[in-house]
Structures are given as structure tokens and as C-alpha cells.
């Protein structure tokens, strides 16, 4: 197709009843061109309203095509490929089949770079496979239940309470389950979480994930007890914590006992003073623990040695 540029001054517009539009004086030498236009065409109104350069696409003749390349070309002649001579210091690359075979670790590392460690379940590059994400897998089949997969990050889980709760909506009541879970490594780190779902297993998983996002560190002495007494309240609940001598054990009840055991405290006294709500008491225990400080931290803030704290 050949592209010809003409101006509106070279156009001879016939009446709207004329079915064809002729180009009398094109800027380039072309054969007579014609463009079929309907009487009520929007293209005709566009030409009359805008004085711009119009690009018309017309058919090209066979004489306009340059065929000089094929004048000295013989299609029956046999052509041989003659590659250039490589330089003297050129070393050809080794063939794909001649290289050493990849080991299983190299193949696994390549797959992990492409797809990540979660596909294989084992990290060759040292990445964290057990990220804090939903670790629920569904068994194949319609209506199958959710299978729980335990997260291996060093934290143990204990369920404090599972309650059935309802939400009143326009169409009636929605039934859900609320789970309170405490996670801890029994080495000074503990967290309390809560989650709601339509199934108990999913509620426990969500609360455990929420607890892992709220991990705190419990200050303890070498006798696995508190450095000093403390009290904490959350909502209507109030908890009292006291250190104890070695061999005493954890003397506490309800949610306070579970939080202290998951934190790794072996000798302590705890008491729930007000409300008996399990969630508020667990969070009040966390508040009381966060108020505690080690003796070395207090001495460093005061700028004195630890021996002078008791003088």
C-alpha cells in the first residue's frame, strides 16, 4: 500500500449526493485516486471542518515495487554457506552435554530461586520456610475439612478457652467460635492471641498466628522466677505476680498459670484479683510482666554498680 499526502486545497468536494470524491491535484504523481464516501458520512464532515493534511491510503501498482534485487538472482543456483574465520584466541564454549552433571542440591537450589522454598518445604538456601502465614491445607474433595499443619518455629501452643459466640445480623444470627491461645518457647518468650472463625480448628490457627505477632520477653533470674513483684490490669481484670524461692513451683490458676508456664517460669506466685475472664486475665499477666525490669538494667540506668542497689 502506498501512502500519499494531499491538502484540502487540492480536493474537489462534490455535492453530498455524489457517491465518489475525486482528488484532482495530488502533490505526488499518482494514478487517479478515488474514495467511496456515503452521502451522510462523518468523514466528509471531518474534511470540511478541519483544514489539516489528510493521509490517504491507496493501492500501489506492480511497477512501483523495486525488484532490482532479483535481476541477478538465479533460484536454481546452489548456494553454500561460508562462515567467517574465527580469531586465533577464540575458544569454543563447551557443549551442554559435555558439562558435569548437576547434583541434587544444585537442582533444588535452582528450583528454590525460581519458585521459593514453600514449594519444596525444605530450604537449600537457608531461607525461612515456616513463615507466619496460614498453614492450613485442604484435603482434595468437595466439602472436605481443613487439615491443620503445625508451624515448626520453636513455640509451643496451648489453648486457654474456646467459646461459641454469635453475631446478630439482619437475617438472623451468625455462629462463630472464639479461641484464646498462648504460645511460648519456655525460655522467656510468650504471647497471647485471640481469633474467631466458623470452625474451631481455623479459630485456633488464627489465634496462634495472632499470638506469634505479640511475643514479649519475660525477665527472669537464674532461679527461673521474677526479679521483683508486679501487678497489671487489663479491662476489669487485675493480676498480682510475686517471685518465689526455688522448689515452690507455679502457684496460680486459670489463664495466669498457662501464661507463666509457657514463658518458662518455674517458681512464681500469681493471683487473679478481680474479673475471672480468661482473655483479660491473660492480657493482664502480660501487662504485669512488661512492667518488670532486671537489676542490671536498673543499675545501668542509674549509672551505679549492681552491688549498690541494695544499700
pLDDT of residue 83: 84
| 21 falls within a domain | yes
> How far is the first Cα of the chain from the last one, in angstroms, to the nearest whole number?
103
| 196 falls within a domain | yes
| 109 falls within a domain | no
Domain with 45 in it: 2-61
**Helix, strand or coil for residue 52?**
coil
Alpha-carbon torsion (185, 191, 192, 198), positive or negative: negative
| 25 falls within a domain | yes
247-255, long-range: CB within 8 Å, 24+ apart, which pairs? 254/278, 254/281, 255/160, 255/161, 255/180, 255/182, 255/279, 255/281, 255/282, 255/285
pLDDT of residue 139: 41
Among 283, 291, 194, smallest CA distance to 235 is for 283
Q: Residue 207's domain is classified under what CATH number?
A: 3.30.230.10
How many domains does one find in the chain? Answer: 2
Cα–Cα dist 207/181, whole Å: 6
DSSP assigned state of 216: E
Is-above-0.85 flag for pTM?
no
Q: Are 159 and 171 in contact (CB under 8 A)?
A: no
Cα–Cα dist 184/165, whole Å: 26
Q: Are residues 171 and 52 in the same domain?
A: no
pLDDT of residue 68: 74
| 184 falls within a domain | yes
Convert 271-285 into a string of H (helix), E (strand) and C (coil).
Answer: EECCCCCHHHHHHHH
Among 186, 285, 265, 261, smallest CA distance to 220 is for 265
Close Cβ partners of 132 (under 8 Å, ≥ 6 residues apart): 151, 153, 209, 212, 213
DSSP assigned state of 9: G
Residue-level pLDDT, tens digit, the chain, 311 residues: 444 444 444 444 444 444 444 444 444 444 444 444 444 445 555 545 544 444 444 566 767 777 776 777 787 888 788 888 889 888 888 777 777 788 887 877 787 777 766 544 566 666 655 554 444 444 444 444 545 556 678 899 999 999 999 999 999 999 999 999 999 999 999 999 999 999 999 999 999 999 999 999 999 999 999 999 999 999 999 999 999 999 999 999 999 999 999 999 999 999 999 999 999 999 999 999 999 999 999 999 999 998 888 87
The x, y and z cell numbers of residue 205, run together, are 490457627
Among 221, 255, 250, smallest CA distance to 238 is for 255
- Structural domain ending residue among the three candidates 61, 85, 106: 61
Burial class (CB in 10 A: 0-12, 13-18, 19+), 200: middle
| 8 falls within a domain | yes
Alpha-carbon torsion (80, 81, 86, 91), positive or negative: negative
- Structural domain ending residue among the three candidates 31, 46, 61: 61
Between the alpha carbon of residue 42 and those of residues 18, 37, 49, 51, 101, the distances in Å are 15, 9, 11, 15, 69
Phi/psi of residue 241, nearest 5 degrees: -120, 135
| 216 falls within a domain | yes
The partner residues of 197 in beta bridges, in order of sequence, read 177
- Structural domain ending residue among the three candidates 20, 38, 61: 61
pLDDT of residue 157: 94
Half-sphere exposure of 241 (CA within 13 A, CB side): 33
User: Angle between the 278-290 and 255-263 helix axes, to the nearest 10 degrees?
Assistant: 40
| 131 falls within a domain | no
Q: Are 203 and 195 in contact (CB under 8 A)?
A: yes
pLDDT of residue 134: 46
Q: Are residues 166 and 291 in the same domain?
A: yes
Amino acid at each position: 500500500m502506498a501512502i500519499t499526502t494531499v491538502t484540502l486545497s487540492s480536493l474537489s468536494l462534490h455535492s453530498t449526493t455524489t457517491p465518489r470524491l475525486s482528488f484532482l491535484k495530488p502533490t505526488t504523481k499518482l494514478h487517479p485516486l478515488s474514495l467511496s464516501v456515503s452521502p451522510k458520512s462523518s468523514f466528509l464532515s471531518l474534511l470540511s471542518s478541519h483544514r489539516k493534511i489528510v493521509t490517504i491510503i491507496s493501492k500501489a501498482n506492480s511497477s512501483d515495487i523495486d525488484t532490482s534485487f532479483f535481476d541477478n538472482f538465479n533460484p536454481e543456483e546452489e548456494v553454500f554457506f561460508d562462515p567467517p574465520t574465527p580469531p586465533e584466541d577464540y575458544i569454543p564454549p563447551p557443549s551442554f552435554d559435555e558439562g558435569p552433571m548437576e547434583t541434587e542440591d544444585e537442582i533444588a537450589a535452582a528450583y528454590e530461586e525460581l519458585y521459593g522454598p514453600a514449594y519444596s518445604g525444605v530450604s537449600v538456601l537457608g531461607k525461612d520456610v515456616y513463615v507466619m502465614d496460614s498453614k492450613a491445607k485442604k484435603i482434595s474433595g468437595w466439602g472436605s475439612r481443613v487439615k491443620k499443619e503445625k508451624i515448626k518455629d520453636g513455640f509451643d501452643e496451648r489453648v486457654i478457652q474456646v467459646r461459641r459466640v454469635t453475631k446478630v445480623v439482619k437475617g438472623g444470627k451468625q455462629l462463630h467460635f472464639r479461641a484464646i491461645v498462648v504460645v511460648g518457647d519456655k525460655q522467656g518468650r510468650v504471647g497471647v492471641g485471640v481469633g474467631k472463625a466458623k470452625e474451631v480448628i481455623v479459630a485456633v490457627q488464627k489465634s496462634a498466628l495472632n499470638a506469634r505477632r505479640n511475643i514479649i520477653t519475660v525477665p527472669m533470674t537464674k532461679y527461673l522466677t521474677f526479679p521483683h513483684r508486679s501487678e497489671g490490669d487489663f479491662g476489669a481484670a487485675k493480676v498480682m505476680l510475686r517471685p518465689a524461692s526455688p522448689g515452690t513451683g507455679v502457684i496460680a490458676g486459670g489463664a495466669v498459670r498457662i501464661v507463666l508456664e509457657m514463658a518458662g517460669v518455674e517458681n512464681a506466685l500469681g493471683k487473679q484479683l478481680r474479673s475471672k475472664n480468661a482473655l483479660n486475665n491473660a492480657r493482664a499477666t502480660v501487662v504485669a510482666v512488661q512492667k518488670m525490669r532486671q537489676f542490671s538494667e536498673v543499675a545501668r540506668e542509674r549509672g551505679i554498680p549492681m552491688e549498690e542497689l541494695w544499700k
